[in-house]
Amino acid sequence: MKYSGNLIYIFLSTMLLFFVSACATAPSSARAPHQRPSINPAARGTEELRGKLAEGGKYVLGKKELVIRGKRFNMDCTGTVLAIYYYAGIDLARDFNKYTGNGVMRLYKSLDAEELLYETRFPVTGDIIFWDNTYDRNQDRQWNDPLTHVGMVMNTSEDGSIEYVHLNYRRGIIIENMNLHQPEVHQQMEKGQMRIINSPMRMKQAGKAHPDNWLSGQLFKIFGMGYLF
């Protein structure tokens, strides 16, 4: 059976259009991992709620146990954040039974499922902070331990200085510092006083003053908008 030149041309043109269209539309359905959502973290009337989270952050400072409205939380980094959010009326653990892993991992997966993870150097009060490699969880002496610590932003200054509340493994629930514009700077002299830029985060190693990567800014992973959960 013979085909005319016109029929062959139409057939090839149709197939070419099909493949070009397929390549053009395929990527549009994929969401880039950790891409900043279109939601403005400071929008949607969250100011009052985030103010309540800041109040909760101050409330848990120095606490030896975490009991909020009769509910007890684990005295660990995840429990600290859960307690602060529960203080503000948000149950961040409501979907934990859907996921496996430690508390930090389950919290991360819960926010990721709602597309509430985002990247910025100027987080807002109430943003949840995730860190990697704050300790050697699997004890293999490698830097391969994701999602090992979590805290919450209390305040961010115009220069990018972030104050966050978290459970320090030695000092308890305290407020410390991070600056993603200067992630490798521990402290610097300002107006005659030494100021902490990025607080120590990685647990100490025997025989070393500190690991190569040990500061909050160096080990930072991503932020999460738990107040929209």
pTM value is 0.82
pLDDT value for 43:
61
- Angstrom distance (rounded) from CA 110 to CA 98: 8
- Angstrom distance (rounded) from CA 46 to CA 40: 10
pLDDT value for 42:
64
pLDDT value for 34:
52
Backbone angles phi, psi at 141, to 5 degrees: 65, 25
- Range list of H helices, the chain: 5-25, 47-59, 77-87, 103-113, 216-219
CB burial class (10 A; 0-12, 13-18, 19+) of residue 64?
exposed
Which portions of the chain are predicted below pLDDT 70? 1-39, 42-45
pLDDT value for 179:
98
Residue pair 220/119 in contact (Cβ under 8 Å)? The answer is no
Q: Which domains does the chain have, with CATH numbers?
A: 47-228 (3.90.1720)
